[in-house]
């Protein structure tokens, strides 16, 4: 829980395929009754062709006139793109004072390499395919965001779509992949794979997504996620990824940490926000909030940890 100038942010880190995380997010919104919820989504991911399009209702047509209708809000970060106070988390978990890239907010349109464009589309299609495979088996990836938005509509809280444009992230991930030795990264001898193996008591193959419809695989996968999603374990894995594939880590994690922290920092119209995001982003977002004068506080109620 973080506070500044009378504002409070309840920050919940989740695992995107954890039913327990989804229920915790829902319960937190019910318990806190915030002015707004902040989710790690952008407009395109809940749009008609987005990965959550079929599971999110943005019309807020509950018919209850006693409850304020929720508004969809997208932070305008154009003026914040050069904020010097926002920086990625370093290896020690503190914001690195050295030069950091500006917040990347807009896709590059001019001079786009056709091959890079095709590769970006391929990466995006691969991610969509993975989500569809998980959803078809009832694993409901991203359910914490769906339930958070539903609860926000139930209480009339606004919904902040706080993540960067997915097309920008896909382009940056594609650029990061081009700078990464994937064979070395995924090698059984890599530090990243060794760290994953230490957490993988069931010896499930962490390099491949098995058949989620197989009950045995689903049980192993669910157990693995529950072990992996603790803050300490995620921090260890993300640290190894940052060392082994810094360009990929920057695109996937640190740039988006800066973006989401900038969004939270500027939402001055809301005095209480429940922010729900993947646990891999929590350290970086908290570090950036702290650099902008936010203070950690002890909540008056018991805030769950996903």
pLDDT in the model for residue 304 = 52
Predicted confidence (pLDDT) per residue in 130-180, tens digit: 666 655 655 677 889 999 999 999 999 999 999 999 889 988 988 998 898
Higher pLDDT, 179 or 115: 179
Per-range mean pLDDT, top range of 86-90, 175-179, 231-235: 175-179
Which range among 184-193, 223-232, 284-293 has the greatest average pLDDT? 284-293
Answer whether residue 4 shows pLDDT above 50.
yes
Q: Pick the more confident residue, 185 or 101.
A: 185
Q: 66: Cβ–Cβ under 8 A, 6 or more apart, which residues?
A: none
Instruction: Give tens-digit pLDDT for 116-144.
Output: 667 666 766 666 666 666 556 556 778 89
Q: How far is CA 34 from CA 72, 132, 199, 206, 281, in A?
A: 15, 31, 36, 38, 21
Q: Are 38 and 160 in contact (CB under 8 A)?
A: yes
N-term to C-term CA, the chain: 14
**Residue 199 to residues 18, 184, 208, 215, 223: CA-CA distances in angstroms?**
17, 20, 16, 21, 11
Per-residue pLDDT reduced to its tens digit, 92-109: 333 333 334 456 566 555
d(CA 204, CA 210): 9
pTM: 0.77
Of residues 171 and 233, more confidence is placed in 171
For residue range 288-305, list pLDDT tens digits in order: 999 999 999 986 655 554
State which of 60-64, 175-179, 205-209, 267-271 shows the largest mean pLDDT. Answer: 267-271
Look at residue 226 and give its three-state secondary structure. helix
Answer whether residue 3 shows pLDDT above 90: yes
């Amino acid at each position: 829980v973080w506070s500044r100038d009378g504002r409070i942010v309840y920050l919940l880190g989740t695992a995107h395929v954890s039913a327990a995380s989804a229920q915790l997010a829902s319960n937190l919104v019910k318990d806190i009754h915030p002015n707004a919820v902040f989710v790690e989504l952008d407009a395109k991911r809940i749009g008609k062709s987005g990965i959550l399009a079929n599971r999110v209702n943005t019309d807020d047509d509950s018919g209850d006139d006693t409850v304020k209708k929720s508004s969809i809000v997208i932070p305008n970060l154009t003026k914040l793109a050069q904020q010097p106070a926002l920086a990625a988390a370093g290896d020690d978990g503190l914001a690195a004072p050295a030069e950091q890239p500006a917040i990347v907010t807009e896709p590059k349109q001019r001079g786009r390499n056709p091959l890079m464009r095709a590769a970006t589309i391929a990466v995006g299609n691969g991610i969509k395919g993975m989500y569809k495979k998980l959803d078809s088996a009832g694993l409901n990836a991203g359910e914490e965001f769906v339930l958070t938005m539903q609860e926000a509509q139930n209480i009339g809280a606004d919904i902040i779509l706080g993540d960067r444009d997915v097309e920008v992230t896909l382009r940056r991930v594609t650029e990061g992949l081009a700078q990464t030795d994937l064979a070395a990264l995924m090698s059984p001898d890599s530090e990243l794979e060794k760290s994953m193996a230490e957490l993988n008591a069931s010896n499930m193959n962490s390099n491949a997504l098995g058949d989620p419809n197989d009950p045995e695989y689903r049980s192993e996968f669910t157990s693995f996620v529950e072990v992996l999603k603790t803050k300490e374990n995620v921090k260890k894995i993300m640290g190894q990824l940052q060392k082994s594939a810094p360009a990929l880590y920057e695109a996937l994690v640190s740039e988006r940490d800066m973006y989401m922290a900038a969004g939270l920092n500027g939402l001055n119209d809301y005095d209480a926000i429940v922010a729900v995001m993947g646990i891999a982003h929590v350290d970086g977002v908290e570090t950036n909030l702290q650099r902008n004068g936010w203070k950690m506080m002890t909540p008056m109620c018991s805030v769950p940890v996903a």
